[in-house]
Amino acid sequence: MATKDELVYAGEKGRFTLYTGLCKGCGLCIEKCPTGVLDWNDVLGVYGTPSVLPVAKGKVCTGCGICQQLCPDCAIKVERTRAG
């Protein structure tokens, strides 16, 4: 279950969790997401900067896990639920 310190996006192919208390708003994940689905949202991260979610319109999170691997602060967890 999500707490107020977690933002969860359950997509068709994967479940994306953002730990807001760890996200520093560097934007690296937005820059590197291969589908361009990550975008800023209204919930603030650890330094009062916006945090992120895979919510860009018309784009789909594939659950590839690249954002989880490159986040310097381990603020993202991706659980793939379906292959493809």
Positions in the binding site for ligand SF4 (CB under 6 A): 16, 23-29, 33, 35, 37-38, 52, 54, 61-67, 71, 73, 75-76, 78
CB of residue 1 to ligand SF4, shortest distance in Å:
21
Q: Can you name the residues that pair with 78 across neighbouring β-strands?
A: 16
- Closer CB to ligand SF4, 1 or 17, in the complex: 17
Provide, rounded to whole angstroms, the least separation between the CB of residue 25 and ligand SF4: 5
Query: Position of tokens 């994967």?
Result: 14
